[in-house]
Amino acid sequence: MNTSGSSRTVSMGLGPLNAIYQARYNRYCTTRLKDTSQPRLGVPRRREMDEVESLGAIGVAAREELDNLTFVINCNLQRLDGPVRATARSFRRWRRFFRGAGWNVIKVVWGREWDPLLAADSDGALVNLMNVTPDGDYQTYKGESGAYVRENFFGRDPRTRKLVEGMTEHQIWNLKRGGHDYPEAVRGVQAATEHTGQRR
């Protein structure tokens, strides 16, 4: 990670490791030399977080109380050397790891358009459907029509089909996952950088 912005590295686990030690160095400079406390942003990808270096070093950030560090883990559904782990499973795994190490975790997965549907999902049918749907299917839905999504995603359960009865095909097709809802992603990063007393 450079001192002016975010890191861009290949999927070797070096980006998160680099970001943590840069934040540690900045903290050292702040307490001994000059103020370098402005938060830095690391953007590790899904594959990179599978490397032992990435998860091993988050304990350093916890011990050193590096709240000048923000990670945005980009789940881009791509991997060169093995199957892509399901998104929901990855989120649960990483949340356990990071929270266990003392980090503040903010999850941004679904766009704002899903909020009314999730609020109406009183028995958890929609959340269950989201969790059991493979990532590849979500990619397919985005390439198809709203009618296709209504039938092949929501239509798999009568309760979820009922949730979208009043929605147009365009509204259904426009339902975004959080990584593509830029205002929601920006809100998450802003909330993270304003949080103090923990890693973010």
Per the structure, how many domains does the chain have?
2
Looking at the structure, tell me whether residues 187 and 171 fall in a common domain: no
Predicted local confidence at residue 199, as pLDDT? 57
Let me know if residue 21 belongs to a domain.
yes
Predicted local confidence at residue 60, as pLDDT? 79
Let me know if residue 144 belongs to a domain.
yes
Residue 46 has pLDDT above 80, yes or no: no
Looking at the structure, tell me whether residues 93 and 34 fall in a common domain: yes
Looking at the structure, tell me whether residues 83 and 145 fall in a common domain: no
User: How confident is the model over 17-33, as pLDDT tens digits?
Assistant: 777 777 776 776 766 55
Predicted local confidence at residue 2, as pLDDT? 35
pTM: 0.61
Predicted local confidence at residue 11, as pLDDT? 53
- Confidence class of residue 192 from pLDDT cuts 50, 70 and 90? confident
Q: Which domain holds residue 155?
A: 112-175
Let me know if residue 42 belongs to a domain.
yes
Contacts of residue 183, Cβ cutoff 8 Å, sequence gap at least 6 = 112
Predicted local confidence at residue 97, as pLDDT? 85
Q: Does residue 127 contact residue 164 with C-beta atoms inside 8 Å?
A: no
Contacts of residue 67, Cβ cutoff 8 Å, sequence gap at least 6 = 195, 196, 197, 198, 199, 200
